[in-house]
Amino acid sequence: MNGKEQDQQTWQQVPFNDGGTLHYSQGIDQQHLQITQPLHLPGTAKEARLKQLRKQRLARSQRVSTTKWSSALHVLFSPSSVGKAALLLTVATFASRFLGLLRVSLFTAAVGVNDSADAFNLATQFPTTIYNIVAGGALLSAFIPIFNVYFINKKDEGEAWHLTSSALNLSSGCMVLFSLVGMIFADQLLHLYTPNVPQEKLVLMVALTRILFLQTIFLGMGVIMNGVLNARQHFLLPALGSVLYPLGSLLGLGVGVVLQWTVHANSTLIVYCATWGVVLGAILMMGIQLPGLKLIGMQYRFTFDWQHPGIRQIVRQMLPRIGNALMLSFSTNVDLILIGLIISVTGASTNGYTTLYLNAFTIASIPLSVIIQIATAAFPRMTSHATEGRIDRLRLLILEALQSILFVSIPAALGLVTLSLPMVEILYHIRFDQAQVTAILLICYALGLPGLALVEILTRPFYALRQSKIPVYVSIGQFAVKIALSLLFLNPMVWLAQMEWVRFWFSSLSQSWLTGAWGMGALALATSLAGALEAGGLLWLLHIQVGGLHLRELPSFVLRITLASLAMLLTITIIGWALDQWLVVGTTATHQVTGFTDLILVAIKLALLTGIGGMVYLRTARFLHILGGERLKPIQRVLIRLRLAWV
C-alpha cells in the first residue's frame, strides 16, 4: 500500500471535530474526539470534506435559528394518514363552504337577484376558465406524481426542489401573461362568451372581469405550493388557505355593505367591493402556504428551466387536462346560451336567471366539496403506491375510498332532494317564487351527486399511474354527452312545464317562472346523468387498468346504503310534516319565510331534521353491517374524532 492509499484509508476511518464553536458532535464516536495528532489528508479529499462540513454547518445553524414557534408548527405539519388528513380537509372544507355560503347569502340579500348579481357571476367565468386551463387541477394532478418520482423514487431532493421552483415560476409567468391578455381584450372576449347581454350589464362585466384576472395570478402560484405540501403529506396550511379564500371575499363584501349604508350608494358598489374581496382571498390563500414551504425544507431557485425532463413530463400530463378544461368551458358557455334561449321562450325578464342557476349549484356543491376531500387525502398515498409498484395496496385504497364516498354521497343526495326548499330559504333570503325555482334546480343537481362524487375518486388512480389521457378522454366524452342531453331534454321539459304536468308541489309559481325553472332544470338533469355515465365508464376502465377491483360486493353494498338512506328519508318526511304543524312559518298557505323570526324557525327545523336523519342513517348502517368492525375505517376514524362513534 503506497502513502497516498494509506492516507486515504486513514481519512475514511477516523472522524474528527469540524472545529466549530457550537459543538456539533452528535453522532460522532466519542473515542475519536481526543485525537491530537494532525491528520494527513489528500488535498482533493480534504477540500471536498471541508466543503461538506461547511454545508453541514450552514444547515445546522439554520436549524438552530428556528424559533420555538416553528418547532411547534413542525409538530402540526407532521405527515398525515388518510383518515387524519381526510378529517382535517373535511373540517377545513366545511368551514370554507360555510364562509362561502355566508358570502353568497349576504351578497344575495344586499344586492338581490338582478343584473348586477348576474354580471358578478358571469364575470367570474372567463378568469376561472383561464386558471383551469393554465393551472388548476391539471397542474396539481400532473405535478404531484412527477415530484414524488424525484423525491421518493430517485431520492434526489435537490432535483425535486429545482423542478418545483421551475414549475412555480413558469406557472406564475404564464398566469401573468394570460391575465394581461385577458384584461386587454376582456370586452371582445365577453362578447363571444356571453352573447345577447345588454350594454350596461356588459360594461359592468368587463370591469369586474379585469379585476378578477388578478386573482388568477395568485391562484396559479398557490396551486404549486398546495401540490408540494400535499405531496409531502402536509395538509394543514392548504386547508387553512381554503378557509382564508372565502374569508377575503366576505371581508370585501362587508366593506361594500358598510359603504352602502354610510354613503347610500347603489348595489354596484357592493359588487365592486365583493370582487376586490375575491382578489384579497386569493392573496391570503397563497400567502398562508409560504411558511409551510420553508418548514418542509424547500430550496427555492429563481429558474425557468422549461427544458427540464420533469417539466416536460408535467406538460405532457397536463395537455389532456387542458383539453378537458376547454371542453368544460365550452359546455358552460352552451349552458349560458341555452339559459338565454329559455329567457326568450318564457318571455321573462333577464334579471337573475343566471344567479339562481349558479346558486342552486353552489348548494349542491356543499356535500360534493366535502366528499372530494376523501379523494384529495387519498391521492398522495395512491401516488406513492403506484410509484413504488404496490398495486395490491392501491386496489385496496381505491375500494376503501369508493365505499366511503358512496356511504356519504347517497344519503346526502336524498337529503338535498327532501330539504331543498328550506335550505334555499335559509341560505338565500329571496322571494318565495325565486326560492322555489332554485329548489327545483337543486333537486335536479342532487340526483347526480353520487355520480359526480365518484368521478372525483375514480380519476385520481389514473393520474397516480400516470395514465392521465384515459380520464381526460372519458371526461371530454362526458361533456359531449352532457351538451347532447341538454339539447335533448330542453324542449320536452319546457313543453311539460307549459302543459302544467310538472308543477308538483310548486303551486304558487307563475307560468313563466315554472317554465324557466324546468328549462334550466333540464340542463341540471343533463349534468347529473352525464356525471353518472362518466363514473360508470371510469370504474370499468380502472377495473381493467389495475387488474381487478373486487367489485362483486359493491352492488350489495350500494343496496344496503340505499335502504339506510330510505330509512333516513322516511324519518325526515314524517318529522318534517309534524314540525310544519307545530312550527308555522310565514303564511299558512305557502310557508314563505317573511322575517327574521321565520328564518330562525326554518333554521331550527333544518337542524332538527338533519341531526335526527343523520342519526337514523348511522344506526341503520350499523344494523345492516355497513359500518363497524373492519368496514369503512376512514369513516369510523372521522366519527371517533368528531366524538360521534356512539351513534
pLDDT digits (tens, 9 = 90+) for 219-228: 888 888 887 8
Between the alpha carbon of residue 464 and those of residues 12, 27, 72, 86, 537, the distances in Å are 42, 38, 32, 18, 18
**Domain assignment present for 129:** yes
Q: Please, are residues 444 and 528 in contact by the beta-carbon 8 Å criterion? A: yes
The total of structural domains in the chain comes to 1
**Domain assignment present for 468:** no
Give the model confidence (pLDDT) of 473-518 as tens digits.
888 888 889 989 998 998 888 877 777 676 666 666 777 777 878 8
Query: What is the C-alpha separation between 425 and 420, in angstroms, rounded?
Result: 9
Strand partners, 631: 628
Please compute the mean of the pLDDT values over residues 611-634 and round it to a whole number: 85
Q: Please, are residues 363 and 347 in contact by the beta-carbon 8 Å criterion? A: no
**Domain assignment present for 99:** yes
Q: Which of 20-24, 46-50, 259-263, 584-588 has the lowest mean pLDDT?
A: 20-24
Q: Does pTM surpass 0.85?
A: no
pLDDT at 21: 31
Minimal CA–CA distance to 236: which of 330, 95, 342, 110? 95
**Domain assignment present for 266:** yes
| Residue 4: count of CB within 10 angstroms of its CB | 11
Q: Which of 238-242, 560-564, 622-626 has the lowest mean pLDDT?
A: 238-242
C-alpha dihedral (182, 140, 275, 323), degrees to nearest 10:
40
Residue 27 has pLDDT above 60, yes or no: no
| Residue 510: count of CB within 10 angstroms of its CB | 11
**Domain assignment present for 258:** yes
Q: 36 or 633: which carries more pLDDT confidence?
A: 633
Query: What is the C-alpha separation between 632 and 623, in angstroms, rounded?
Result: 14
**Domain assignment present for 293:** yes
Please compute the mean of the pLDDT values over residues 453-466 and round it to a whole number: 87
Please compute the mean of the pLDDT values over residues 95-118 and round it to a whole number: 82
> What is the extent of the structural domain holding 162?
83-306
* Ramachandran region, residue 328 (left: φ > 0; alpha: ψ -120 to 50; beta: rest): alpha
| Residue 316: count of CB within 10 angstroms of its CB | 14
Give the model confidence (pLDDT) of 315-359 as tens digits.
887 777 777 777 777 787 788 788 877 877 766 555 678 888 888
Residue 197: CA atoms inside 13 Å, Cβ hemisphere, count? 28
Residue 370 has pLDDT above 80, yes or no: no
For cell 365508464, the residue is 537
Give the model confidence (pLDDT) of 541-557 as tens digits.
998 888 877 788 888 99
**Domain assignment present for 188:** yes
**Domain assignment present for 522:** no
For cell 391578455, the residue is 181
Please compute the mean of the pLDDT values over residues 192-202 and round it to a whole number: 73
Which residues make Cβ contacts (< 8 Å) with residue 449, sequence separation at least 6?
364, 367, 368, 409, 412, 413, 416, 528
Between the alpha carbon of residue 30 and those of residues 22, 25, 50, the distances in Å are 16, 9, 21
